[in-house]
Amino acid sequence: EVQLVESGGGLVQPGGSLRLSCAASEFTFSSYWMTWVRQAPGKGLEWVANINQDGSEKNYVDSVKGRFTISRDNAKNSLSLQMNSLRVEDTAVFYCARARYPYAATGDYWGQGTLVTVSS
Amino acid sequence: DIQMTQSPSSLSASVGDRVTITCRASQGISNYLAWFQQKPGKAPKSLIYDASSLQSGVPSKFSGSASGTDFTLTISSLQPEDFATYYCQQYYTYPITFGQGTRLEIK
């Protein structure tokens, strides 16, 4: 069974940084696009970013461009999201998801999520 | 950006009912439309992709259809475990966008 386990969430002050990780197992990680989706408390789902199989192509929602960086380490079956200049409005549960093959951005398997709280 | 508008925003139904949720795209997205189910405190679960293809392991009581820019998710014979929030998502173009969600409640 595909497994995705996020970590790295927590409380951070506005303007601060946080790095999220997603450990993948039980599938060939290097063969899939991967994506991050977030959900603010009590709100809907928002796509954040995705990355292709070798990390050469990355896409972001406008609200995080220049602040967030998605990356992956295929040797470690790991996906990351470096978040800088965090804002209160970035407070959300962040999910990593495997993109359904051969697509780039719709998830077929999702992790359980990690909560990021941006507050002073 | 492509706007995805779901209707209704909330829906009350009884066990055994058949319900339909609609998602309208603000422009053409071919059939690049997915449906997800989310229960409180849990991650979204994939139900349907490519507008009408059933995710492996999802019961056939869930079905999807498309007509132009209108998409529907139909759930037949509602069971207690089906009461949740449902989201549509377009993956035709960036930015990828979701509908606002439809909360399905027990009547």
Q: How far is B95 from chain A (nearest CA, A)?
A: 6
pLDDT of residue A35: 97
Tokens 């009581």 — which residue? B61
Structure confidence at residue A101 (pLDDT): 87
Specify the DSSP class assigned to residue A66.
T
**Strands of B4-7's sheet, edge to edge?**
B4-7, B19-25, B70-75, B62-67
Give A-chain residues touching B49 at CB under 8 angstroms: 100, 103, 106, 108
Q: How far apart are CA A52 and CA A43, in angstroms?
A: 28
Cβ burial of A72 (10 Å; 0-12, 13-18, 19+) is buried
A80 by DSSP, 3-state: which? strand
* Min Cα–Cα distance to chain B from A46, Å: 7
Cβ atoms < 10 Å from Cβ of A114 = 21
Amino acid B89 reads Q
Chain A: nearest CA to B89, how far in angstroms?
8
Residue pLDDT, tens place only, B32-87: 999 999 999 999 999 999 999 999 999 999 999 999 999 999 999 999 999 999 99
Report CB contact under 8 Å: B44, A110: yes
* Integer Cα distance of B3 and B104 in angstroms: 21
Q: What is the mean pLDDT of residues A29-48?
A: 97
- B87–A44: do the CB atoms touch at under 8 Å? yes
Q: What is the pLDDT of residues A1-13, one digit of tens each?
A: 999 999 999 999 9
